[in-house]
Amino acid sequence: MKDSVIIVSGGLDSVTLLYDKAEEIALAISFDYGQNHGARELPFAEYHCTKLGIPHITIPLSFMHRYFKSSLLDGAEAIPEGHYAEENMKSTVVPFRNGIMLAIATGIAESHGLKRVYIANHGGDHTIYPDCRPDFIRAMDGAATAGTFVNVRIEAPYTNITKADIVRRGTALDIDYSKTWSCYKGADLHCGKCGTCVERKEAFQEAGVNDPTEYEPA
């Protein structure tokens, strides 16, 4: 039964969840909040939704680019290089981004009589992103359930698994990962050096799966 909304960015994680839960998803939502890589990732969200026959909308959140502080909104040159575990990666946090997106998706779910909102945060996000952690998801689930007539639930099935686990799952679903985007710099190719590129490389290596991503020359 198609009773769910999904937040899909066009990245590896959310595209995998899109395929994983395709039979349940009535509507997919992307957000354009002025992210450096929006022009690269959002078309992939549209591509996969079209391929699966899932209705897709992109909602503009231009106020975030105007009022929020994050290197993810400040251009490619502001993105630090290195591993997610490093302190400087905290600059890529967009304050309460997932809270804002989940609130909007919850309102849309209730407006359409849908009862679930899927989000694809995973275990590797916990290090630096407060709005990807299990306690945050539990709190948002409680708020969504209490604040809607249809008792919308927030579901984040990848919260406690790794990105490598997600790659394995997506490979089993025959997802073309060359048509997903991770790099926060948003150039023509993945830079291969920012935190999300490093994490992407490590996930394919750990999963034992060929990485189809085109990276800039080292």
Sheet holding 4-7, edge to edge: 56-60, 25-32, 4-7, 116-118, 153-155
Q: For the chain, where are the alpha helices, taking DSSP H only? A: 12-20, 38-52, 62-67, 97-111, 134-146, 163-172, 195-207
Tokens of 92: 């890529």
Question: Which token pair is 30?
Answer: 């992307």
Question: Rounded to an integer, what distance in angstroms lies between the CA atom of residue 99 and that of residue 79?
Answer: 22
Q: How many CB atoms lie within 10 A of CB 145?
A: 15
Cα three-residue angle 136-142-143, rounded to 5 degrees:
90
DSSP notation for 41-81: HHHHHHHHHHHHT--EEEEE-HHHHHH---GGGS-GGGS-B
Binding-site residue set: 8-18, 183, 191, 194, 197
Q: Mark the binding-site residues for Zn(2+), compressed into ranges.
A: 183, 191, 194, 197
Residues making up the binding site for ATP: 8-18
